[in-house]
């Protein structure tokens, strides 16, 4: 394929890592990015290193939606109140970059340039269920023809994208949803592991993540994961202050363990015909204070073969592979697969079990 020009919406942890990892992938050129206060666009290619330096520790990293009362940032409600300015008063984020321009409509500014963009990766928050689907709809209403990728986690969001599929197809959009690690890479691994069986009885995904950069650079990811803890939900996690989150982390000595998470792997595997959503279980362990993974990431698929045998196929990630490698690498691989399919005229909503990522 020709060189792929892509944009990243949001420069929090996921957005910044996407830009960083893209420099190690052939055939990709980052041409646009934005946060809630600024936008950087260069059709010849952005200076990614300079942007990464400028957005390090970005407080308010997700673009603000244009709804009357909606504020969405990668850092959540507390970050939104910071309004994109660091505590010491200096400018933060893209507006601090030599490539950045201040704006009150960052997403619209990217949409206005989308004719020259092959793919858009949405590194946006998932704490507002319909935020990513609404952004996709805005691109479709602007007649964008290209690829959109997200790494969303929540099962319920897939249905919101499916409800918009006709509009996405009409525009010429290929939308690849849940294309990170889980859902994403591990969902695809489960689909492959299931091929030995004529009936799948259970899919167990157990992940381990060590955040070497800690909570500070992964605010949105940690906040969203907290919503899966017993006694918490999306609303309570979103309204927690930074002090409350740090106190919760301290209470657990930096290690959070999750069981029966609402992860879109279930819906995505059901959509692909692998198994019923209720047979998929996702859990894991997050250590925000260590480079080491607290547990090995595995995918186990149990099923019955055509000759009546019951077995379990297990896929395991090496402990040295980081969250950055396992989320952003596959996201960019699925981005390439999306572009390949889009150029072949395949439009609509696809999951990670529907496509093989490019390399």
Q: Which residues contact 308 (CB under 8 A, 6 or more apart)?
A: none
Q: Is 88 a catalytic residue?
A: no
Residue 228 bears catalytic tag: yes
Q: Give strand pairing partners of 199.
A: 304
Marked catalytic residue, from 128, 137, 224, 324: 224
Catalytic annotation present for 224: yes
Round to whole Å and give the CA distance between 152 and 276. Answer: 20
Cβ 220 vs Cβ 61: under 8 Å? yes
Catalytic pick among 153, 263, 293, 336: 153
Q: What is the rounded end-to-end Cα distance, in angstroms, of the chain?
A: 12
| Active-site pick, 128, 228, 270, 336 | 228
The answer to whether the beta carbons of residues 24 and 92 sit under 8 Å apart is no
SS (H, E, C) the chain: CCCEEEEEECCCHHHHHHHHHHCCCCCEEEEEEECCCEEEECCCCCCHHHHHHHHCCCCCCCCCCCCCCCCCCCCCHHHHHHCCECCCCCECHHHHCCCCEECCCHHHHHHHCHHHCCEEEECCCCCCCCHHHHHHHHHHHCCCCEEEEECCCCHHHHHHHHCCHHHHHHHCEEEECCCECCCEHHHHHHHHHHHHCCEEEEEEEEEEEECCCCHHHCHHHHHHHHCCCCCCCHHHHHHCCHHHHHHHHHHCCCEEEECCCCCCHHHHHHHCCCCCHHHEEEEEEEECCCCCCCCCCEEEEEEECCCCCEEEEEEECCCCCCHHHHHHHHHHHHHHHHHHHHHCCCCEEECCCCCCCCC
Structure tokens at 323: 């969250």
Residues with a known catalytic role: 153, 224, 228
């Amino acid at each position: 394929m020709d060189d792929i020009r892509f944009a990243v919406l949001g420069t929090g942890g996921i957005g910044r890592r996407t830009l960083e990892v893209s420099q190690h992938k052939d055939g990709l050129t980052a041409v646009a990015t934005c946060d809630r206060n600024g936008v950087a666009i260069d059709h010849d290619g952005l200076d990614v290193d300079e942007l990464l330096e400028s957005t390090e520790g970005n407080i308010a990293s997700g673009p603000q939606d244009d709804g009357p009362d909606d504020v969405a940032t990668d850092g959540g409600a507390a970050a939104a109140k910071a309004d994109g300015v660091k505590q010491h008063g200096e400018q933060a984020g893209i507006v601090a970059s030599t490539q950045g321009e201040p704006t009150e409509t960052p997403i619209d500014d990217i949409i206005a340039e989308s004719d020259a963009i092959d793919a858009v990766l949405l590194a946006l928050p998932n704490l507002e269920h319909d935020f990513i689907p609404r952004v996709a709809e805005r691109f479709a209403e602007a007649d964008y023809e290209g690829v959109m990728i997200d790494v969303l986690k929540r099962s319920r969001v897939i249905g919101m994208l499916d409800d918009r599929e006709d509009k996405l197809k009409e525009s010429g959009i290929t939308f690849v949803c849940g294309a990170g690690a889980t859902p994403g890479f591990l969902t695809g691994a489960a689909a492959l592991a299931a091929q030995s069986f004529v009936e799948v009885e259970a899919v167990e995904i157990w992940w381990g993540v060590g955040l070497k950069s800690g909570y500070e650079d992964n605010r949105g990811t940690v906040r969203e994961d907290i919503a899966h803890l017993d006694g918490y939900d999306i609303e309570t996690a979103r309204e927690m202050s930074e002090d409350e989150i740090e106190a919760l982390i301290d209470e657990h000595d930096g290690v959070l363990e999750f069981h029966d998470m609402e992860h879109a792997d279930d819906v995505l595997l059901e959509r692909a015909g692998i198994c019923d959503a209720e047979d998929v279980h996702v859990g894991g362990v997050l250590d925000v204070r260590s480079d080491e993974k607290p547990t090995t990431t595995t995918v186990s698929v149990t099923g019955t073969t055509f000759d009546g045998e019951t077995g379990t196929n297990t896929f395991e990630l090496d402990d040295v592979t980081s969250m950055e490698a396992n989320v952003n690498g596959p996201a960019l691989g699925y981005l390439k697969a999306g572009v390949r399919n889009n150029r072949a005229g395949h439009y609509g909503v696809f999951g990670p079990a529907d496509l093989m990522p490019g390399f």
